[in-house]
Amino acid sequence: MAISYIAQLVIRFLTDIILWSRENFAMKNQNRSEWNLNTLLNHPKRIIPRADNPSLLAPIYQSVKFVVSSEVGYGEQFIYGRVGNPTVRQLEGLLSDIQKKEDCIVLSSGLAAITGMLLGLLKSGDHVITFRELYKPGRIFIRETLPKFGIQSSILKLHDLDALEKSIIPGKTKLIHFESPTNPNLDIADIEGIIKIARKHQILVSMDGTFAGLHQHTEFDIDLMVQSLTKYGNGHGDVLAGSIAGKKNLIGQIRQMTINLGASLDPHAAFLVERGLKTYKLRIEKHVKNAAEVADFLAQHPKIQKVFYPGLSSHKGYELAHKQMNDMGSVVSFVIDPSCGITADQFAHKLKLIQFAVSLGATESIICPTHYFFGDDLSPIDKADLGIGPFSLRLSVGLEDAEDLIQDLKDALEA
Ligand SMILES: *Cc1c(COP(=O)(O)O)cnc(C)c1O
């Protein structure tokens, strides 16, 4: 007994020395015992766990600056939060792993990812091709902001691959940027068709895969995959974030630009996204199951004129979607029969459980009319072509019980 007690004391003594020396190491050059109150308040003893005793969950490095080391070059260290942060870097590693890309950069929003990518890749005199079906703020940025920097664009119809090839300007066209499924009516792009044309002309391809999520389209040879993590990635509707995953050299080139733009993600936001991702697969399964049930209900309702959901055989992208995707996501768009005398806006306000709000891919179901939020910059012809009008809505199906969502839709349609 006595011997083991003494042995324990010795072990504790040795451990204390090790811990003490670690703390001491972390606070080298400091004279704590001589400091006054304000100095102590601003320099708490830093606790750094041993390398073989790390916290299981990643700490949030909620610090703008890092103490500069003399051991390695300045370019290899974390120095300033806008340029790099370990919490943010860990999220980037996770996102490149799950999307099967060499590298990834996370940014302060999905839109920052789109605009940062465009500005990082393109220069004055270049030309970019995209589609009218694009997420509205990205479409507006390409059409109205890029020309200020001498970057021209062609905005085409998603399914017109002939026009795509004809729009290529040799030596000038550098990028084709597209989405699939598209907002708000879930058009499906012919990804192989687009990539084939891009490769033939040695043009880069970027895809915004937000509506499909992070787990889909990873097998395609897409140079840069953009995601709004604000949606399924974080999944809880409480963080704005975006990412671009792709080849190391391209991500490096974009990173230079986005650091200069100041679009970095805050470490606390990165932590929340990483936490949200733990349940990503479970959430997606439930989202998709709910969406399929809601889409079936709407498709059979006499007051609904049309439902846009790639999982329905009536959807024009049904076959392509099943070729390219493992699941069809949880956005269901639909048009109320105009003869019912209720507009999309009136309907959205009538629902009691499903809230009238924008965004998608979070735990709560939300709905919004499409005409104001997604199409007010389009010509009347394009709007009609894309199914955007006064009676059309976009529903993001959440994680509630499908029967309650269906009851809410039923009540509002019958009232
Ligand atoms: C929401 C969204 C974006 C923009 O993302 P934010 O995080 O809101 O900036 C980009 N693309 C698509 C397809 C989106 O749905």
Closest CA relative to residue 222, chosen from 252, 241, 194, 201: 194
* DSSP label of 196: H
Cα 290 to Cα 400: distance, rounded to the nearest angstrom: 8
Q: How many domains does the chain have?
A: 3
Neighbour order of strands in the sheet with 224-228: 103-107, 242-246, 224-228, 204-208, 173-179, 127-131, 152-156
Given the structure tokens 């005398």, which residue do they identify?
A: 341
Same structural domain for residues 293 and 233? no
**Does ligand 1 have an atom closer than 6 angstroms to the CB of 242?**
yes
61 part of a folded domain? no
Q: What is the pLDDT of residue 231?
A: 98
End-to-end CA distance of the chain: 80
**Can you give the CATH number for the domain in which 336 is found?**
3.90.1150.10
Q: Please return the burial class of 376, using the count of CB atoms within 10 Å of its CB with bins 0-12, 13-18 and 19+.
A: exposed
- If one residue of 106, 108, 109, 111 were mutated to test the ligand 1 pocket, choosing by the most ligand atoms within 8 A of its CB, it would be 111
Q: Are residues 145 and 36 in the same domain?
A: no
Of the pLDDT bands very low, low, confident and very high (cuts 50, 70, 90), residue 29 is confident
Question: Which residue segment(s) compose the domain that 229 sits in?
Answer: 86-277
Rounded Cα distance between 160 and 63, Å, is: 49
Provide the mean pLDDT of the chain. 94
Residue 230 Cβ contacting ligand 1 at under 6 Å: yes
The count of C-alpha atoms lying within 13 angstroms of the C-alpha of 110, restricted to the half-sphere facing its C-beta, is 26
Would the CB of 210 count as within 6 Å of ligand 1?
yes
Instruction: Please determine, for residue 1, whether its predicted confidence score (pLDDT) is greater than 70.
Output: no
Whether residue 216 has its Cβ less than 6 Å from ligand 1: no
What's the DSSP call for residue 413? H
Question: Average pLDDT of 322-328?
Answer: 98
Do residues 316 and 234 share a domain? Answer: no
Answer yes or no: is pLDDT of 16 > 60.
no
* pLDDT(192) > 80: yes
Count the Cβ atoms, other than its own, within 10 Å of residue 166. 10
pLDDT over 90 at 271, yes or no? yes
344 in Cβ contact with 153 (< 8 Å): no
Q: Are residues 45 and 92 in the same domain?
A: no
User: ∠ CA 268-272-276 to the nearest 5 degrees?
Assistant: 170
Given a cut of 70, whether residue 407 has pLDDT beyond it is: yes
Same-domain check for residues 221 and 303:
no
- Say which residue the tokens 């004391």 belong to: 9
Cα–Cα distance measured from residue 145 to residue 111, given in angstroms and rounded to the nearest whole number: 13
Pocket residue to mutate for ligand 1, from 228, 272, 374, most atoms within 8 A of Cβ = 228
Q: Say yes or no: CB of residue 328 within 6 Å of ligand 1.
A: no
Residues 216, 111 within the same domain: yes
Which DSSP helix (H) or strand (E) runs through 245? strand 242-246
Asked if the structure places residue 76 within a domain, the reply is: no
Which tens digits make up the pLDDT trace of 296-314? Answer: 999 999 999 999 999 999 9
| Ligand 1, atom nearest to 183 Cα | 13
Is 124 in the same domain as 258?
yes
Q: What is the mean pLDDT of residues 52-70?
A: 94
pLDDT of residue 56: 93
Q: In testing the pocket of ligand 1, which one of 210, 366, 373 has its CB within 8 Å of the most ligand atoms?
A: 210
User: For residue 17, what pLDDT band results from cuts at 50, 70 and 90?
Assistant: low
Phi, psi of 367 (to 5 degrees): -140, 145
Under 8 Å between Cβ of 376 and 365: no
Pocket lining: 111 vs ligand 1, CB cutoff 6 Å: yes
CATH of the domain at 235: 3.40.640.10
270/285 same-domain check: no
Cα(236) to centroid of ligand 1, in Å? 15
pLDDT at 160 (0 to 100): 97
Averaged pLDDT, 208-227: 98
- Residue where one domain finishes, among candidates 222, 245, 277: 277
Region 213-231: mean pLDDT is 98
Return d(Cα 51, Cα 48) in angstroms, integer: 9
Tell me the CA–centroid distance for residue 142 and ligand 1, in Å: 15
Task: Compute the average pLDDT of residues 346-373.
Answer: 96
* Interval 393-400 mean pLDDT: 98
Query: Would you state the pLDDT for residue 284?
Result: 98
Query: What is the pLDDT, as a whole number, of residue 10?
Result: 64
Say yes or no: 95 and 210 in one domain.
yes
Q: Do both 354 and 226 map to the same domain?
A: no
| pTM over the 0.75 mark | yes
pLDDT at 19 over 60: no
On whether the CB atoms of residues 304 and 298 are closer than 8 A, the answer is yes
Share of the chain above pLDDT 70, in %: 93
CA distance linking residue 293 with residue 328, whole number of Å: 12
Whether residue 18 has pLDDT greater than 60: no
pLDDT of residue 195: 98
Residue nearest to atom 7 of ligand 1 (CA): 110
For residue 144, the 8-state DSSP code is: I
In this prediction, residue 26 carries a pLDDT of: 56
Confidence of residue 3 (pLDDT cuts 50, 70, 90): low
DSSP state of 65: B
Task: Please identify which residue in the block is written with the tokens 């009538």.
Answer: 350
Whether pLDDT at 68 is above 80? yes
Q: Is the pLDDT of residue 58 over 90?
A: no
> Which residue's CA lies nearest to atom 6 of ligand 1?
110
Rounded average pLDDT over 344-372: 97
Residue nearest to atom 15 of ligand 1 (CA): 210
Domain-ending residue, one of 54, 73, 94: 54
pLDDT at 375: 86
Residues 125 and 262 in one domain: yes
314: how many CB neighbours lie within 10 A of its CB? 11
Identify which of 109, 114, 115, 135 to mutate to test ligand 1's pocket (most ligand atoms within 8 A of the CB).
Answer: 135
Instruction: Determine the Cα–Cα distance for residues 376 and 246; give it in Å rounded to an integer.
Output: 32
What pLDDT score was predicted for residue 391?
Answer: 97
The reply to whether 15 and 98 lie within a common domain is no
CA of 110 to the centre of ligand 1 (A): 5
